């Protein structure tokens, strides 16, 4: 099998560095006769890490202080291994002191980005990107699109159509950079309107949020044969995708479904699902990844679950060093069937630190457990869940959006929930009441924000 496109792209960048940067050539000691391997990717990573640390030390008030407080100099950190000595950066630092991170004058900033993540609990944060940063961001988007598209494809972008350099606009630039045709159809159009745009432009790839594309698909399905529309790929963002829902979407459109993992702080696009379909390769041209124990801050053993922590390697306006994502995942170490031999790969993110609630008996519960259960039931579109305390026991209350509100669906939902170990074990142990379920009709959650799903803890 040909190498995964993201690997060819990264190798191209490393080759460019080897040809154009004398300092990197000396640092890497690469033998030009040998093909690139993991150790060349690591040399590239460590070289750009050193540059980033020196640059942040000289230009960012925040990082200068972090170095001074830790009694470190950039020269004390030669590479990945030494980076563990440096303090972590948290979302709260960004929320408190955004301007102290800035390494350029504000005149250089092409796009300040103000956003809130982590449901309704996360603080508001500001990120600044220079024109150089935006070029890097759209280059990675082009590389990400190349993993699912050819230059003959038309990519319909179902993201909110905002200002120039909005997420939709940057993706439009990325698709154009790759050489395919972008069509921004926005997020607020009706399902019929999205289909009309698809028919007009002969879109072959649809890019949007998982829940949004599922809802559109279910709304259109009764009146249209979507299998005949010529769509090759649904490229989905934003939410965890249970296997059953992936299969359902693949059947509805008779196409492949790929997902990606994104994070605004890291430049929107971070990682794309590899063709093997069981994990993500990420943007190793611009990001360094560590996985840490969220309690101790120590790195976990390869393959163990921990929090994803990224360091930017090429950022100009606002480099971030050891930035905590609060997303939990693990490295997948075995050789990847997609053919990539020099890329790291991590598992789907099933938990966020904020999304885990601890029950009275110490057991952990998080929303993707319910995604796997509920979104596998035909007719369920979306749901919300609350955890309450009732007669000194835990109780879950679900509000579930379904295509039809009928007794069969309700019975199946109740059966599925009660048999699930995450609920059944706690009921058997006497620490939880039977869950309560309320059905609402299709469209009830349509206007809700697309923040990451939480178990709303009302105890
Ligand atoms: Zn792969």
Indicate the domain borders of the chain.
5-135+274-353, 148-262, 356-457
Cα 263 to ligand 1 centre (Å): 20
> What six digits make up the tokens of 202?
């002969």
Cα 275 to ligand 1 centre (Å): 6
Cα 300 to ligand 1 centre (Å): 22
Which fold does the domain 148-262 belong to in CATH? Rossmann fold (3.40.50)
Cα 262 to ligand 1 centre (Å): 17
User: What residues of the chain score a pLDDT lower than 50?
Assistant: 1-2, 118-120, 448-449
Per CATH, domain 356-457 is 3.30.300.30: yes
Cα 261 to ligand 1 centre (Å): 14
Give the torsion sign (CA, 389, 391, 394, 397). Answer: negative
Cα 13 to ligand 1 centre (Å): 19
Cα 9 to ligand 1 centre (Å): 14
Give the torsion sign (CA, 49, 169, 308, 304). Answer: negative
Q: Measure the CA–CA gap between 5 and 252, rounded to whole angstroms.
A: 27
Cα 448 to ligand 1 centre (Å): 34
Do the domains 356-457 and 148-262 match in fold? no
Cα 339 to ligand 1 centre (Å): 6
Cα 42 to ligand 1 centre (Å): 18
- Of 420, 406, 433, the residue nearest 370 (C-alpha): 420
- Of 210, 236, 105, 114, the residue nearest 166 (C-alpha): 114
Cα 150 to ligand 1 centre (Å): 19
Q: Please give the angle made by the CA atoms of 410, 415 and 421, to the nearest 5 degrees.
A: 135
> What six digits make up the tokens of 394?
């835990």
Say what the pLDDT of residue 435 is: 94
List CB contacts of 80: < 8 A, sequence separation 6 or more. Answer: 42, 45, 46, 49, 288, 290
Cα 340 to ligand 1 centre (Å): 6
Give the torsion sign (CA, 373, 417, 411, 213). Answer: negative
Class for domain 5-135+274-353, per CATH?
A: alpha beta
Say what the pLDDT of residue 4 is: 86
Cα 161 to ligand 1 centre (Å): 32
Query: Residues 140, 359: contact at Cβ < 8 Å?
Result: no
Q: Please give the angle made by the CA atoms of 407, 410 and 415, to the nearest 5 degrees.
A: 125
Say what the pLDDT of residue 116 is: 64
- Of 269, 279, 208, 280, the residue nearest 237 (C-alpha): 208
Q: Measure the CA–CA gap between 312 and 96, rounded to whole angstroms.
A: 20
Query: Residues 129, 318: contact at Cβ < 8 Å?
Result: yes
Cα 5 to ligand 1 centre (Å): 10
Query: Residues 153, 181: contact at Cβ < 8 Å?
Result: yes
Cα 347 to ligand 1 centre (Å): 11
Say what the pLDDT of residue 206 is: 98
For the chain, counts of helices (H) and of strands (E): 15, 19
> What six digits make up the tokens of 240?
């965890």
Cα 27 to ligand 1 centre (Å): 28
Residue 212, CA distances (Å) to 4, 26, 144, 216, 450 in order: 28, 49, 21, 6, 9
Cα 10 to ligand 1 centre (Å): 14
Cα 6 to ligand 1 centre (Å): 9
Cα 348 to ligand 1 centre (Å): 13
Cα 148 to ligand 1 centre (Å): 13
Task: Fill in the DSSP letter of residue 413.
Answer: H
Cα 273 to ligand 1 centre (Å): 8
């Amino acid at each position: 099998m040909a190498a995964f496109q993201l690997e060819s792209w990264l190798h191209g960048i490393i080759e460019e560095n080897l040809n154009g940067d004398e300092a990197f050539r000396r640092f890497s000691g690469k033998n030009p006769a040998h093909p690139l391997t993991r150790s060349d990717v690591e040399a590239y990573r460590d070289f750009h890490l050193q540059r980033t640390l020196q640059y942040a030390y000289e230009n960012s008030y925040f990082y200068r202080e972090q170095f001074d407080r830790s009694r470190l100099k950039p020269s004390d950190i030669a590479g990945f291994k030494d980076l563990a000595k440096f303090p972590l950066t948290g979302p709260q630092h960004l929320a408190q002191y955004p301007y102290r991170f800035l390494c350029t004058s504000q005149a250089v900033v092409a796009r300040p980005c103000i956003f809130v993540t982590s449901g309704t609990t996360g603080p508001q944060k500001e990120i600044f990107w220079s024109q150089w940063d935006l070029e890097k961001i759209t280059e990675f988007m082009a590389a990400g699109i190349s993993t699912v598209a050819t230059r003959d494809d038309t990519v319909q972008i179902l993201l909110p159509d905002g200002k120039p350099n909005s997420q939709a606009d940057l993706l439009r630039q990325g698709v154009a950079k790759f050489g395919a045709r972008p069509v921004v159809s926005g997020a607020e159009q009706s399902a019929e309107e999205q289909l009309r745009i698809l028919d007009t432009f002969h879109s072959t790839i649809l890019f949007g949020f998982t829940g949004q594309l599922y809802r559109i698909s279910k709304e259109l399905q009764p009146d249209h044969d979507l299998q005949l529309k010529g769509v090759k790929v649904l490229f989905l963002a934003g939410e965890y995708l249970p296997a059953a829902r992936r299969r359902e979407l693949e059947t509805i459109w008779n196409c492949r479904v790929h997902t990606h993992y994104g994070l605004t702080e890291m430049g929107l696009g971070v990682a794309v699902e590899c063709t093997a379909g069981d994990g993500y390769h990420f943007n190793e041209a611009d990001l360094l990844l560590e996985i840490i124990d969220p309690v101790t801050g120590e790195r976990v053993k390869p393959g163990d679950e921990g929090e994803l922590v990224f360091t930017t390697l090429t950022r100009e306006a606002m480099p971030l060093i050891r930035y905590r994502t609060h997303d939990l995942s693990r490295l997948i170490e075995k050789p990847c069937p997609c053919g990539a031999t020099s890329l790291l790969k991590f598992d789907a993110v099933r938990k966020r630190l904020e999304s885990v609630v601890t029950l009275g008996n110490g057991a952990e519960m998080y929303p993707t457990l319910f995604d796997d259960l509920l979104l596998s039931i035909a007719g369920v579109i979306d749901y919300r869940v609350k955890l309450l305390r009732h007669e000194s026991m835990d109780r879950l209350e679900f509000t579930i959006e379904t295509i039809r509100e009928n007794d069969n669906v309700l019975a199946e939902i109740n059966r599925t929930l009660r048999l699930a170990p995450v609920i059944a074990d706690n009921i058997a142990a006497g620490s939880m009441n039977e869950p309560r379920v309320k059905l609402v009709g299709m469209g009830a959650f349509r206007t809700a924000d697309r923040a990451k799903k939480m178990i709303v803890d009302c105890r």
